[in-house]
Structure 1
């Protein structure tokens, strides 16, 4: 695939270098990430809701959904049928200034090669860490990469987070899910509720698969029949350890998650 088929767009038009330079160190922004397949996206309504709600939380205003969709559609139309895409909402007036409280918001869309994530299984280090503004997918989160690096140095593949109450919440760029042999268990703690997590929850409900939220401590991990991580790359990669506790690879659980995700229809954008 030719590299030139991917690029960056601001407000629906190709971005100039002069427009991108001020964004290099910009941290007051939020985004969503998705995989495009055949020019279509699963759970696009969840992406629009994420951007709208985060804009209201950070800027107290939001762009109309139709306008956001049109800006994403322009980038999708310019690339190959399969690609990765991020859409970032920011204020052109910058950060560290009250000026960003007013004025029109802008959308930066970037496209790059498609990804299905690592094969797994993954072993996760356990780190006490609470993401600031956990419910928002915001930019500039240095902690996630730092803890990934530290986990790798310790012989793990990535890191999972637990809070001051010893409840597991999420992993660096992943949501967590557990399996007790009959039901899917979602951790109950402040976290970013991912779009893939949202797709899985509604498809599992439609299929009649039991699921529930509950507080999951590190020690409780060893009682489960399996665990998985998920994000925009993939609906499920097996987790075989969190901190000192081992877990079965639970192939049927991973298959269940992939089948639930596959039941979500792909949708045209624009």
Structure 2
């Protein structure tokens, strides 16, 4: 029997999660995850999410849940929940963190569902903060710095924070990928960062649309030469950015429209 569409259940290893199972995860965990949006019981970029989960599991645990297992658990959560929802898949050690017992174990899978989100419309202004995320290429839990620097940015009068690495180059933002526009080409930061699934979808669709793309070192000084900037994550392919630190930027509506066009071209599927 389907759960009421306004109820968003969670599952561990394919079974409804109990409070006693979830309570420890609220405070600790050696885990990584991926987040996605479901619309009309379909999702985009599932192959990218599965690749992310597989690669991070091999890095953390030396083994990974099969794609077939993950697909079945995602499919069950979608079928039992609302046709539009946010869905997060977390792969974690059942032995928690700060212990050798979490090494080389068969990881467990938590699938959480929640209300759908399209993210903010923007435009957003970003504080420029020196910070490098640990294990930046992996989407892992326990990153207190992202919330801390978000709060610091708000206290400075900004909406969110962009990170500047030790070379003085922009890498990513708190829960976002950064992307830039020079009027002709889409520019991705050349830096240690997480390659988002939305980023992967947009990149391959821009390639299909024959839109030029390249990776560059983007310093704050370089911003004055660019025509636009945006944020993207699993919520949205493009939120306009109108300031990074003291550097103001135009909203660049054609650029934002291009990013949304690329995402719209990505096919949706059932797991």
Shared fold per TM-score greater than 0.5: yes
Q: How does 1:38-57 map to 2 (within 5 A)?
A: 38-57=40-59
**In structure 1, C-alpha distance between the alignment counterparts of 2:185 and 2:58, rounded to whole Å:** 34
What is aligned with 1:216? 218
**In structure 1, C-alpha distance between the alignment counterparts of 2:63 and 2:112, rounded to whole Å:** 23
What is aligned with 2:15? 13
What is aligned with 2:180? 178
Does 21-30 or 37-46 show the bigger shift?
21-30
Q: How far did 1:4 drift?
A: 5.3
**What is the aligned residue count?**
269
Does 3-12 or 23-32 show the bigger shift?
3-12
Give the alignment's Cα RMSD to 1 decimal: 1.2
- DSSP 3-state at the match of 1:118: coil
**In structure 2, C-alpha distance between the alignment counterparts of 1:3 and 1:123, rounded to whole Å:** 35
- DSSP 3-state at the match of 1:199: helix
Relative distance call for 1:245 and 1:2 in structure 2 (3 A) is farther
Please, which of 69, 78, 82 is the counterpart of residue 71 of structure 2? Answer: 69
**In structure 2, C-alpha distance between the alignment counterparts of 1:149 and 1:103, rounded to whole Å:** 36
- DSSP 3-state at the match of 1:221: helix
**In structure 2, C-alpha distance between the alignment counterparts of 1:213 and 1:97, rounded to whole Å:** 39
**In structure 2, C-alpha distance between the alignment counterparts of 1:4 and 1:213, rounded to whole Å:** 42
Please, which of 102, 106, 109 is the counterpart of residue 107 of structure 1? Answer: 109
Contact 1:42 1:266 in 2 (8 A): yes
Q: Give unpaired runs (5+ residues) of structure 1.
A: none
Q: How far did 1:73 drift?
A: 1.1
**In structure 1, C-alpha distance between the alignment counterparts of 2:89 and 2:168, rounded to whole Å:** 33
Contact 2:6 2:82 in 1 (8 A): no
Please, which of 30, 36, 49 is the counterpart of residue 32 of structure 2? Answer: 30
**In structure 1, C-alpha distance between the alignment counterparts of 2:108 and 2:73, rounded to whole Å:** 10
Q: How far did 1:3 drift?
A: 7.6
* 2:143 is the alignment partner of 1:141: yes
Contact 1:12 1:71 in 2 (8 A): yes
Using the size of structure 1 for normalisation, the TM-score is: 0.97
Q: How far did 1:103 drift?
A: 3.1
- DSSP 3-state at the match of 1:6: coil
* 2:160 is the alignment partner of 1:158: yes
- DSSP 3-state at the match of 2:236: coil
Contact 1:5 1:78 in 2 (8 A): no
Q: Give unpaired runs (5+ residues) of structure 2.
A: none
**In structure 1, C-alpha distance between the alignment counterparts of 2:259 and 2:98, rounded to whole Å:** 42
**In structure 2, C-alpha distance between the alignment counterparts of 1:19 and 1:82, rounded to whole Å:** 26
